[in-house]
């Protein structure tokens, strides 16, 4: 595999990518002997777009994915578009052109690819316009992330920025209100107005937000925790917070 090529695996991830960008596909590897209802749409799409496909045994797929759950399908593709802070102006402008208040998710140092994939899936479901992550000390868009995101990696831009605090300041100058989650605050998520241009900041697994990130938030909130567990998995907490924002924005969308 050429250095710049990427692997995509998993039924949902591969299906969504074929639908959106068939021109990126170089070759497709399918599990020999498997032609069930879940794999047939991929086989039909590959034929429609002339994507070379070959049937291989399970070991070939296992070796390519280093033992990850590939669901019997692996694709080698050309790299897709990468997003940086230079794209944020366009992302926000497009949201405003659609008469929708910009809605962003900032992940400060989330390093687990499964958590990033789950956050992408949450973000897609909630209508988030982009996820912003720092270039360093954060999970990148890998095949594992794409599989966990079940197609959402193709619909939600993942914007990598060199300086997260500076990017947050730029967003504030564009009228985006930045709300961060932190256990030490007394303000509950459900007691805060969350409509309008909004960016939600979620901290890293275990550590939470870095000090500089926290200082650049306009407001800090926490989730009410009634049990003995002190915190939630970051993707679970992200889903709860995003959909509270969705709930409050709903009249604006209807």
**Is 203 known to sit in a ligand binding site?**
yes
For the cut 80, the answer to whether the pLDDT of residue 226 exceeds it is no
225 vs 237, residue with greater confidence: 237
Q: Is 200 helix (H, G, I), strand (E, B) or coil?
A: strand
**Is 223 known to sit in a ligand binding site?**
yes
pLDDT in tens, 23-81: 999 999 999 877 678 888 899 999 999 999 999 999 999 999 888 889 999 999 998 88
Nearest to 67 by CA among 127, 148, 144: 144
**Is 61 known to sit in a ligand binding site?**
no
Domains, the chain: 6-77 (3.30.1330.30), 83-253 (3.40.1280.10)
Position 253 scores a pLDDT of 47
Alpha-carbon distance values, 229 to 50, 58, 224, 232 (Å): 52, 40, 11, 8
Q: What is the mean pLDDT of residues 232-249?
A: 93
pTM for this entry: 0.88
End-to-end CA distance of the chain: 47
Position 69 scores a pLDDT of 87
pLDDT in tens, 157-209: 999 999 999 999 999 999 999 999 988 888 999 999 998 999 999 998 778 89
């Amino acid at each position: 595999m050429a250095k710049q090529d990427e692997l995509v695996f998993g039924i949902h991830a591969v299906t969504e990518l074929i639908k959106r960008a068939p021109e990126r596909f170089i070759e497709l590897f399918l599990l020999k002997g498997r032609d069930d209802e879940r794999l047939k749409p991929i086989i039909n799409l590959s034929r429609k777009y002339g994507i070379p496909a070959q049937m291989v045994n399970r070991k070939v797929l296992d070796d390519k994915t280093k033992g990850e759950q590939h669901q019997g399908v692996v694709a080698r593709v050309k790299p897709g578009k990468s997003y940086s802070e230079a794209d944020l102006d366009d992302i926000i402008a497009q949201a405003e052109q659609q008469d929708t208040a910009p809605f962003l998710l900032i992940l400060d140092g989330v390093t687990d690819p499964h958590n990033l994939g789950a956050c992408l899936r949450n973000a897609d479901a909630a209508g988030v316009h982009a996820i912003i992550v720092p270039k360093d000390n954060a999970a990148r868009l890998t095949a594992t992330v794409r599989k966990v995101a079940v197609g959402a990696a193709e619909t939600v831009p993942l914007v990598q920025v060199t300086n997260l605090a500076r990017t947050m300041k730029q967003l504030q100058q564009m009228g985006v209100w930045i709300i961060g989650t932190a256990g030490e605050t007394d303000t509950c998520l459900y007691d805060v107005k969350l409509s309008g241009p909004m960016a939600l900041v979620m901290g890293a697994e275990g550590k939470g937000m870095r000090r500089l990130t926290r200082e650049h938030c306009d407001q800090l909130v926490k989730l009410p925790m009634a049990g003995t567990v002190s915190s939630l998995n970051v993707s679970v907490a992200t889903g709860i917070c995003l959909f509270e924002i969705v709930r409050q924005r709903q009249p604006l969308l209807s």
